[in-house]
Chains A and B, each alone.
Chain A
Amino acid sequence: MSDRLPEEGFVGRGNREGADLFRQWFSELNRTAEQGGPSAYVFVMGSMCEILRTFNLPVVFPEINSLQTAVRRVAHEYLNQAEDYGYSPDICGYVKADVAVQLRGGEHPMGRIPKPSIAVLTNACNTYIKWAEIWERMYNIPVFTLDIPGTRAAGTQTWPGDPDFENDRRYVQAQITELIALCERVTGIQFDIDRLREVMGYANEMSRGWKQVLEFNKSRPSLFNALTDGTIYLGVANGFRGAPEGGRYFTNLVEEMAYKAAHGIGTLTEEKYRLTFIGVPCYPIFRRFNELFTEWGGTFVHSTYLWFASGGANLGFEYDQARPLESLAEGVLISVRNAMDSMFYQDRAIIEMVDSFHLDGVVYHPIKSCRTTSTGMADNRRSLMAARDIPSLFIESDMMDRRVVAEAQMKNRIDAFFEGLASRKQQQTAAG
């Protein structure tokens, strides 16, 4: 760790650099759209940026584009347009916002989104598959589904050397080889394995940093808000995976966190209650949603969002560049599987982190739009409650559709939750 920068330059650097990188990314996408260049549509859980960057394909994350419409409070315009086209109010809001972006020729609050030349998706979310079928129909582009078998049952993950793992790995590796051949056809560029090694090096730097950053938030007070700051870091983790800027960003972020930890610098909230967040944030009222917690001194020290929406990069898996394809298959399989586990079997991890992250409470946020993250949440909560004596809150809303977000009702529930936490703390203090 270096002490050479003044505090005002160091603290908050991750947020500033993240915002800059985001603007840079979207201006490049805008330029690509204007010039009609190729682009790859990908998703956060298993973006395969390692391969796509090897072919210099700009990556578009429609999930991120969609959530940006909600953060900028125009999602309803996009949702309405997609519903007029025929889509049900009961399907994923991300899909609908993207359909409207496509129907508008790429028009988006942050610029113009290029049309896809190829779409690459995994099965980490089944809606990815249905979503990509829409582009297939709209643009007649190649759609590649990288099928990544997940955990078959709780606690039964297999590892390299196990015959079941090797069956999965061979399947994933064969598909990666097929993806490479497809990218060669789409771009006209011949695959360069040394370029892949280089890209994997940047991805390694990022994964290493991401894991460390998450671990740093065990500090008291917490160093960053997992819901707000964390979402910025997550954006960079996705948009710049396999890029030199992405690797460098996370190296810098680790440096910032180490500095803050060493100097006891936390977030702007005076930390009274340490919380973890389960699910996807409430983007239609993103800032206000966070304030409903921070006003009570609640800080989000962790979030499962930072696990699954980084495609499992939180594991910090580092590729072996000496055997790139085999190692890529292994890493993608293990990481994306972990992303799925953090949605389906997250109770196990939360039970473990209650102590290591000194948690005072767990906030579950199931959303109408996303059955992947929300279906099992109530049952996960039951499991946590059976295993640990820790208060939890269960509030339903949405990540896109403000029609499903009842702020007053939510505030009542959140206030009651904190009153409970306060009384519990008093009792604990009284009991010595």
Chain B
Amino acid sequence: MNVRTFEAWRGKPLDEVLYECRELLEDMTFPTVRRWRESGGKVIGHFQVYFPEEIVHAAGILPFKVRGAQIEAVQADSRFGSYLCSIIKTSLELALSNRVQLEMFVTHPICDAARNLGAVWGRNFSYPCQILYLPQNANSPAAVTYLRNEYARLQRSVEAITGRPVEEDDLRRSLGVYNRNRALLRELYAIKRETPWLVSADEAYVLVAIGGLVPREEHNELLETALPLIAARPNKKQDKIRLVFEGGFCEQPPLDLIRAIARSCYVVDDDLLIGLRWILEDVPLDGDPLFNLASAYLEKSSYSPVQHDLRKPKEKMLIDRIRNSRAEAAILTAAKMCEPGLEDQVAYLHALDKEGIPYFVSEFEEKMTTFEHMEIQLETFVENILFS
């Protein structure tokens, strides 16, 4: 389907492009999804962190990244207990409040709450809801074949929605679109890393996050337009410290919180929406596309607290991220009630202590609205580094 869902940014200067992106990201009526549906398109929602969107894209369906929202969980609250992260509740609220309509919902065994979400969603909606069992034993040689076949199972579920088979060439075309997208996101992160004064953390975040809301071809066009404009900005380097933000792999901090951080720091790398950047290299287009996609998930991928891989001890990966981006410090944060995030936070802080890397520990919630306290603490932390 060739539908344009997000046109407001076209033909505008960079600041207005970023403004339009921000407006879209904060619009809790999800206009791009609505436009897609009004044109007769179907939508599959997938929960954080990583999802093989290519399979849905190849079927001509819009993959919608379900990542919570800054809304009140008015109806969803009664479906859950008290001690739970916000993203689980607000994600379901999006559907219960009819802000987003789906043909199918997919979650993953990333954490104990997310696995329950599939069953809860399924009891509340008549459309198919399922768990995609991404392998938790990434070190087994059998994992890649298992995952290839699990992707084939998912593909059959997707085909049942459209009523037509997805051909290998459809998949290859989608892999090509997503390879291009990943390359553009790598380019954006290279700008963040090498010339962070050209793009602030919140601007970069907005540009990435739009990818979860629009067809990936449109996201590519947006990035292809915005990146050269960013590179051409006349911004001067400021006296800010370079740091890595860790803890945004699932529930997302409010944009204003990222903006508050950007006021005093250059965020030169992060794990925000890491699922959109999970695969680090191009997925080969020759051979079996599902196998290639499965292999890339396991072998050419980033890290997060929700994937166990003996080859990727989290604290080593974080230290590599800090070293590779030449960061001087780290923000170690976690969403409230996020078990994997809070558990890894302990490993991170002990490892950074050992390495002598300064860090700032915090917790956040997607619904936070005041950041003054955190901002003052962060400024003090930064000053301690700058003047030590």
Q: Does A368 contact B (CB under 8 A)?
A: yes
Asked if A425 lies at the interface with its beta carbon under 8 angstroms from chain B, I say no
Residue contact B153 to A175, C-beta cutoff 8 Å: no
- A371 CA to B82 CA in the complex, in Å? 10
Chain A, Cβ-Cβ closest to B149 = A167
A128-162 to B contact mask, C-beta < 8 Å, 1/0 = 01100110110000010111011111101000000
Q: Tell whether A370 is near chain B: CB-to-CB under 8 Å.
A: yes
- How many chain B residues touch A (Cβ–Cβ < 8 Å)? 61
Chain A residues near B81: list those with CB within 8 A: 366, 374-375, 377-378, 396
Residues of A within 8 A of B337 (CB): 90
Q: How far is the CA of A85 from the CA of B122 in the complex (A)?
A: 39
Chain A residues contacting B342 (CB-CB under 8 Å) are: 87-88, 90-91
**A77 in contact (CB, < 8 A):** no
User: Using an 8 Å CB-CB cutoff, how does the interface string of B102-144 with A read, 1 for contact, 0 for none?
Assistant: 0000000111110111111011100011111101110111110
Which residues in A have their C-beta under 8 angstroms from that of B284?
A: none
| Interface assignment of B357: CB less than 8 Å from any CB of chain A | no
Tell which of A127, A149, A178, A383 has the most Cβ of chain B within 10 Å: A149
Q: Are A378 and B118 in contact (CB under 8 A)?
A: no
B78 to chain A, nearest CB (A): 7
- Pick from A88, A154, A378 the residue with the most CB of B within 10 Å: A88
A174 CA to B84 CA in the complex, in Å?
35
A92–B88 CB distance below 8 A: no
Stretch at the interface among B5-13, B65-73, B203-211, B346-354: B346-354
CB distance from A161 to the nearest CB of B (A): 16
User: Is B23's CB within 8 Å of the partner chain A?
Assistant: no
Interface string of A174-209 (1 = CB under 8 A from B): 110010000000000000000000000000000000
Kindly list chain B residues whose C-beta atoms are within 8 Å of the C-beta of A376. Answer: 80, 116-117, 119-120
| Cβ contact within 8 Å between A379 and B120 | yes
Instruction: Answer whether residue B196 sits at the interface, using C-beta atoms and an 8 A cutoff.
Output: no
Smallest CB separation, A244 vs chain B (Å): 31
Residue of B nearest to A156 (CB): B130
The tally of CB-CB contacts under 8 A between chains A and B is 174
Which single member of A87, A171, A340 contacts B146 (CB below 8 Å)?
A171
Tell me if B346 and A344 are in contact (CB < 8 A). Answer: no
Task: Report A392 CB to chain B, min CB distance, Å.
Answer: 14
**B48 sits at the interface (CB 8 A):** no
Give, as a whole number of angstroms, the nearest-CB distance from A204 to chain B: 26
Q: Which of B109, B112, B120, B149 lies in contact with A370, CB distance below 8 A?
A: B112
Point out the residue from B78, B140, B305 that lies within 8 Å of A147, measured CB to CB: B140
Residues of chain B lying within 8 A (CB to CB) of residue A378:
78-81
Which of A129, A171, A366, A372 has a CB less than 8 Å from the CB of B143? A171
| Contacts beyond the supplied A146-B137, A178-B140, A379-B79: 9 A-B pairs with Cβ under 8 Å | A90-B337, A127-B339, A133-B347, A143-B310, A170-B142, A174-B141, A344-B119, A345-B119, A374-B83
The 8 closest A-B pairs by CB, nearest first: A174-B142, A375-B116, A171-B146, A147-B137, A372-B112, A376-B116, A371-B112, A86-B346
